[in-house]
Structures are given as structure tokens and as C-alpha cells.
Amino acid sequence: MADPPPAPWIGSVAPESVLWPGVRGTQQAAEWYNAPIDSWFLPKFAHLPHPVVPDENIGGMLTQLSATLRQRLDAVPPPPPPRRTRPGERQDNSRLKTYRTRLRPNTQQKEALRKTAGIVRWTYNRAVEYLKAHPNASFHDVREHSVTEDGLPLINLSWVTPVPYSIREQACFDAHTALRNGLADVRAGKIPNFELKFRKKRALFSSFRIRIRDWEGGCLKIPNLGLGPGQHQTRIQTGIDVPSLEHDGACIKQENGSWFLLWQKDMGEEKMRVPAARGPEMCAIDPGVRTFATIYDPLRGTAAKFGDGDHKRLFRLGTHLDDLISRSTQASAKKRYRMRRAANRLRARIRHLVDELHWKLRSYLKRGFDTVLLPKFNAHQMSRRGQRRIGRNTVRAMMTWAHGRFRSRLNEAMEVVEVVEDWTSKVCSTCGTVNYRLGGSKIHRCPGSLTVSDRDVNAAKNIFLHWKYDFFNL
């Protein structure tokens, strides 16, 4: 008597697989072609073999699946309102979204921004010094000491007052709020102690907040430093046109020599993402390390790979970063500062490469599919020390891909159906035979039906079959 399958859904693979496009032959490089996309990575596509039962209407079956899924999703009661609003949310179900755009100042504008950031830092440090001596001081007292002209030394008025009062007041407010929040956490037992610290001039990151009136005509308004609209002022070029600000609290941020504007905008109702199960266009995604995402499309009979083998480039940049950090411990203070800036540039470069893949894959999924089946890829649990069964190089590549960040970004754009992926790599998607000797092979060779296929495409189809079984039987 044959042993029972290790998971119940495996028994349904053989009868279900004949109804959907197969995966045989997908391990051959000749079956894949590159998509004409201008990017650092090359998405690959392949046409899958036709189903064994060609008379079945795949579009009709997927339409029926989507309709049933939509009914179940609509029947789920909405979650209870949270006791506390999350960042960017308000009680009237409206939501604020933070946007970020690059500022491209010229040499004179950079000097004006540096002066503004320096004066804001000086104001903040002056407020911190006052709060260290008077921990119970009110915001009015701190502002009178650190912002108003009556509280400032006469020797400093000439170079401090060119920055608008509202910007310097925000720096004072940040210091006072930081102290209040820190002391509240100490009283609540969240932290043992708290000390308000000064801001450093040589910090690699700095920022200052502005109000609505400080942004006029689509540009930052600091007339005394030559910034703002007008005949004798200059306008800083922005990546996105921002004619005006809707809310106070926008931030001008400097990161390793680059300047950015962060501002908030009303997004209307809370649920703005595209709902799932709107039509027959459905896909299953297999997340991975060597390949970031493998997509199985049963309606069009195609498979797609995003980030196939591109983890090597990210790993090489990470190796350079490790070498830079290790050499910085032996360098002098001045050289160590420059090496820290170089390390931050490397981190930003890695982050930008990963973000580009995330945004382009999200755009592809949102344009081409109604329903996306995405497994729960818990990278942190798989990489936990003492419990993991993968090497450190694999852990690093997996964490660099930032699968959790991609899931959050995809959830913002469209409703994602979460599925499970147990045994999807080892099980043959043609006959349901388990290949216990698969290991880390890129090719799946079935010991039962002798089907040879790409490992990730086989897993992506199994994710679809797994979800279909759970959908009707659990």
C-alpha cells in the first residue's frame, strides 16, 4: 500500500494539473525570451505547453473561480476600527500619504539650504541646552529662549534671523516634543531612561520642517537667502511639480549630500487599492532568492521571471560594502568619515536597485492581473539564528530582496490573496510525486512521470493548485 501524501492537497495535483497549462521543458534557456524593458534587470517570459485536456474553457473556469472568491471576500466582515489611528490616518476614514521627491539645487541654492539646515540645527541645540537645565519648561518658555529675538544673543541675530521664524519655531517644537515623548515612555516603563541629545554638524543626515506658508509658487520660500518666487529669487528644481502644500509639517531632508522634499497629501477614503477577483486574469507568484519572483499565468499560458540571477549584482555590492566597513575601523577620523559617506552611497545604490524592481513588478501585476496569489514569505523567520537551514550568503541575498517591503507596496496598489506554499517546490505539478532529493537544484526532475521542468515555474503552478484545493476543501 502506497504511503499517503505528506500534505492533503498533493493528492489533487494529478487530476487538476491536466486542466491547466503544463511546465514541461521550461528548464531550457531557449524557451525563454527577454522583455523589452529599460531596466537593470531583464524580465524573462516563456510560453507553457497546452493543457492535456484541450477542450476545457480556462477563461470560464477562472471567471467562475473569481466570482466565487469575490463572494467570499465580500462576506468577510470588516475589521473593527483600531483604538488608535495609525500614522497618516484620521478618524473620518481619510488617509494622508507621504510623497517624496528629489530636489536638484544649484551651487548657490545648496549653500542656502546648508545655511538653513545649520541655523535650524543651532536653534534645536539651543533648545536642547535650555531643556536640559529646565526639564519642566513649557513650549512657550523654550520658544521665548531659543526663537524670539528678545531671547537670542545680539551677536547671533545677524546670521540667525535670515531664516524665517516659522522654520526655527518648528526646530524648537521638535526638541520639546522629543523630550515630552521620551519622558512619557520612561514613565510607562517602555525604556529605562532617556536623554535628549544634541544634533551633530557632521551627521550624514539632516532635516528641517516647514509650514504651508514657507512653500509658495511651487518652491521653497526663504527670501533673505535668495530662495522663493519673485524677480530676485531663485526656484529649486524638483522631480515632481508641487505647486502648494496641503498640510503643515513638510520636511526638507538631506541624505548624504542629496536633498529631498517630503510632504503629505489627502488620499480620500481608506480603501483605495484595486479589489481582487474582478475578472479571469489570475496569477500565482513564487518568491525566491535566486529569482525574486516567478509568475504562473494560467489564462495566457505563460510564465514570467523577474530578477532571475540578478541577486549576484546585489551580492557583489554588498561585498564591497562589507570590505569598506571593515577597512574603516583602521582608518583615521577624517578618512573614516569619508568612508562612512561612501558606505551610505553604496547602501542607497542597493536600495534604489531593489526599489526599481519592486515598482516595475508592481506596475506589471496591477496592469495585467485581476487576482494575485502571493504566499506568506516570512524571511525573518527563515533567517533566524539557531533555527535556519540555509547559509549566510542565502540569508543575505534573501534579506536584500526585501520581500516584505514588496508585499506592503503591492498591498497598497491592489488586494492580494495570501496563500501557503508548503511542499510546492518538491512536488511535481504534473503527477503529484514528491522529489525528496530536490535540494537546491534549479531543475525539477520528477521521479514518477519523469517530467523535467524549471524549479520555480513548477513551484508557481503548485501554488495555484494548492490555493485551489484549499479554496474548495477548507
Measuring CA to CA, how many Å separate 12 from each of 271, 330, 421, 426, 427? Answer: 36, 61, 15, 15, 12
Give the pLDDT of residue 372.
95
Question: How is residue 222 annotated by DSSP?
Answer: B
For residues 421 and 286, is the Cβ–Cβ distance under 8 A? yes
First-to-last alpha carbon distance for the chain, in angstroms, is 27
Nearest Cα to Cα of residue 250 among 215, 297, 201, 282: 215
Cβ–Cβ < 8 Å for 229, 216:
yes
Domain range summary for the chain, segments of one domain joined by + = 8-72+273-473, 96-266
Count Cα atoms within 13 angstroms, Cβ side, for 392: 4
Q: What is the Cα–Cα distance from 101 to 116, expressed in whole angstroms?
A: 19
Helices (H), 299-391: 311-328, 333-368, 379-382
**Nine-digit cell string for 367:** 496592469
138, 170, 197, 400 from 142: Cα distances, Å: 6, 12, 16, 44
Q: Note whether 170 and 210 are within 8 A (CB).
A: yes
Provide the CA 10 distance to its chain's centre, in angstroms: 34
Rg (CA), the chain: 28
Nearest of 157, 244, 173, 162 to residue 209 by alpha carbon: 173
414 torsion bin: left (phi>0), alpha (psi -120 to 50), beta (else): beta
The pTM of this model reads 0.87
| 162 CB burial (10 A radius; 0-12, 13-18, 19+) | middle
> Looking at residue 55, what is its pLDDT?
67
The one-digit pLDDT tens for each residue of the chain (474 residues) are: 356 778 899 999 999 999 999 999 999 988 899 987 788 998 999 999 988 887 678 999 999 999 999 999 888 887 776 655 555 555 555 578 889 999 999 999 999 999 999 999 999 999 999 999 999 999 999 999 999 999 999 999 999 999 999 999 999 999 999 999 999 999 999 999 999 999 999 898 999 999 999 998 888 999 999 898 876 788 899 998 999 999 988 999 999 889 999 999 887 654 467 888 888 999 999 999 999 999 999 999 999 999 999 999 999 999 999 999 999 999 999 999 999 999 999 999 999 999 999 999 999 999 999 999 999 887 777 777 777 778 888 888 899 999 999 999 999 889 899 999 899 999 999 999 999 999 899 999 999 889 999 999 999 999 999 999 999 987
The pLDDT score that the predictor gives to residue 263 is 94
Residue 283, SS3 per DSSP: strand
In Å, how far from its chain's centre is CA 12? 36
| Residue among 458, 464, 368 at smallest CA distance from 417 | 464
Burial class (CB in 10 A: 0-12, 13-18, 19+), 192: exposed
- Is beta strand 416-419 parallel, antiparallel or unpaired with respect to 371-375? parallel
